[in-house]
Amino acid sequence: MTLRIAPTHELGAGRLRSVRAMLDSAFDGDFADEDWDHALGGVHAWIEDGRGIAAHGAVVMRRVLHRGRSYRVGYVEGVGVRSDLRRRGLGGAVMDGLEQVIDGAYAFGALSASDDGAALYRARGWRVWEGRIEVLGPEGIVRLTEEEGSAFLRPAAGGRALPDPADPLVFDWRDGDVM
């Protein structure tokens, strides 16, 4: 099985349908239309086998404010592995590809991890964000206390330091789950 990397527009309608179906299954039906929308428009990393999509993840650009500066952040979305292939390194292979994209294009990487996924990200050097998480929404800045403790950051290659958790990360607004 070979890892492939391409922007959304190169996947084609059929492959995108297959990715969505795999993610619906991998998340036991808890992968909403908004979650799917969040995974589109960036760069995808995926693995296929004879049965179809085996593993997938995407990285999309988000804006994050910290201490008066706006950062271009590679935000990881839609990471999933087909249930019959879990614990075989496919999630790590997908993350290898996504981290290459982050290293080449963004100030740092960010993601919101489920309890099941957190171990994968910790093992790869992603760090839990210890500060506040906020969003710049239609009504102004709102704190997202429910996201605190599940947000992970990873510095991009080149030695740039991560933001200081003494001040909040303020994410851009989007429909559905903001994080």
Is residue 26 situated within a structural domain?
A: yes
Is residue 152 situated within a structural domain?
A: yes
How is residue 170 written in tokens? 């303020």
Is residue 28 situated within a structural domain?
A: yes
Is residue 178 situated within a structural domain?
A: no
Question: What pTM did the predictor assign?
Answer: 0.95
Which 3 state secondary structure label does DSSP give 3? strand
pLDDT tens, the chain, 179 aa long: 899 999 999 999 999 999 999 999 999 989 999 999 999 999 999 999 999 999 999 999 999 999 999 999 999 999 999 999 999 999 999 999 999 999 999 999 999 998 888 999 999 999 999 999 999 999 999 999 999 999 999 998 876 789 999 999 999 999 999 99
- Are 165 and 131 in contact by the 8 Å Cβ rule? The answer is yes
What CATH code is carried by the domain that includes residue 57? 3.40.630.30
Overall domain count for the chain: 1
Is residue 179 situated within a structural domain?
A: no
Classify residue 123 as exposed, middle or buried by CB count within 10 Å of its CB (0-12, 13-18, 19+).
exposed
Distance (Å, whole) CA 27 – CA 125: 24
The residue segments making up the domain with residue 47 are 3-172
